[in-house]
A = this chain, B = another copy of it.
Amino acid sequence: MNIRLDIEYDGTEFFGWQVQQNLPTIQGHLEAALQQVVKSRVILVGAGRTDSGVHALGQVANFNLDSPGRIEPWRWKLVLNSMLPPTIRIVDSRAVPNDFHAQKNALSKIYEYRVLNQPCASALDRRVYFCPRPMDWDAIRRALPHFIGTKDFRSFKGAKADVVTTVRTVTRFELIEDMSRRGLYVFQVEGSGFLKQMVRTMVGTVMDVGKGLRKPEDMVDIIRARNRMAAGRTMPASGLCLVSIKYQ
């Protein structure tokens, strides 16, 4: 039986999604809980390997059980939640066709990067990057369309990431002013897949436009450079959240 999990987590205290020896990770906590229930090693496939400190509202993962099992699919969320730290919650669990693969079947991923642009940080919202200096948000908005399309995003790839190709497709890159809080700006990015630190570096580069250090049209040359040195800084993880994964 193939079980799909929809997972929410506060990434602050974790060393990212992927299992690492002796470090707390989300996959590590989940596989340990599964192993305790099933009494044998269970491999969990996650849709996106979020980095250290990155949050998720809609991470998706799946695992296969040889036997049909004593636990009904919808009950897995209750079983796992009773064993997990409160900063990891299984929002949904259900049976899916045997060929469902959380990573390979994903059509697109939606990330949000949230910036709180006000003089002081927030005491209540842990899912933001706090930016006290005034920003030209209209200029930033004009920089975003340059990223849309199938392009070589090598300029935005984290140094340590080994990949076959650095070509990716970005279908949406928008800036939304969240009216629930003054000064809260949300970047929404959708694409078939992203390189390591790509979203955070895209946001770091367009934030330079907001500071007046670059022009919106500079994005063309930065992308064309295929060189990490051409782009801006990688934004801190706290503002990034994997919002949802789209499947067929």
Name A's B-contacting residues (CB within 8 A): 8-10, 55, 57, 77, 81, 86-92, 118-124, 126-127, 178, 180, 241
Q: Are A124 and B77 in contact (CB under 8 A)?
A: no
Please name all residues of chain B whose beta carbon is closer than 8 Å to the beta carbon of A81 when the two chains form the complex: 120-121
Please name all residues of chain B whose beta carbon is closer than 8 Å to the beta carbon of A87 when the two chains form the complex: 123
Nearest to A85 among chain B residues (CB) is B123
> Can you report 19 residue pairs joining A to B where beta carbons are below 8 Å apart?
A8-B122, A8-B123, A9-B124, A10-B124, A55-B124, A77-B119, A81-B121, A86-B123, A87-B123, A88-B123, A89-B120, A89-B123, A90-B120, A91-B120, A92-B119, A92-B120, A124-B126, A126-B126, A178-B180
Given A57-B124, A180-B180, A91–B118 Cβ distance below 8 Å? yes
Please name all residues of chain B whose beta carbon is closer than 8 Å to the beta carbon of A8 when the two chains form the complex: 122-124
Give CA–CA (A89, B132) in the complex, Å: 14
Please name all residues of chain B whose beta carbon is closer than 8 Å to the beta carbon of A57 when the two chains form the complex: 124
Which of A90, A123, A126 neighbours the largest number of chain B CB atoms within 10 Å of its CB? A123
Give CA–CA (A90, B88) in the complex, Å: 30
Q: Are A9 and B77 in contact (CB under 8 A)?
A: no
Please name all residues of chain B whose beta carbon is closer than 8 Å to the beta carbon of A91 when the two chains form the complex: 118-120
Please name all residues of chain B whose beta carbon is closer than 8 Å to the beta carbon of A89 when the two chains form the complex: 120-123
Q: Are A121 and B86 in contact (CB under 8 A)?
A: yes
Please name all residues of chain B whose beta carbon is closer than 8 Å to the beta carbon of A10 when the two chains form the complex: 123-124
Give CA–CA (A112, B243) in the complex, Å: 25
6 closest A-B pairs by CB: A89-B123, A8-B123, A9-B123, A10-B123, A10-B124, A87-B123
Please name all residues of chain B whose beta carbon is closer than 8 Å to the beta carbon of A124 when the two chains form the complex: 8-10, 55, 57, 126-127, 241
Nearest to A178 among chain B residues (CB) is B180
From residue A72, how far is it (CB to closest CB) to chain B in Å? 14
Please name all residues of chain B whose beta carbon is closer than 8 Å to the beta carbon of A88 when the two chains form the complex: 123
Give CA–CA (A152, B53) in the complex, Å: 49
Give CA–CA (A90, B77) in the complex, Å: 39
Give CA–CA (A241, B88) in the complex, Å: 24
Nearest to A182 among chain B residues (CB) is B91
From residue A93, how far is it (CB to closest CB) to chain B in Å? 9
Please name all residues of chain B whose beta carbon is closer than 8 Å to the beta carbon of A92 when the two chains form the complex: 119-120
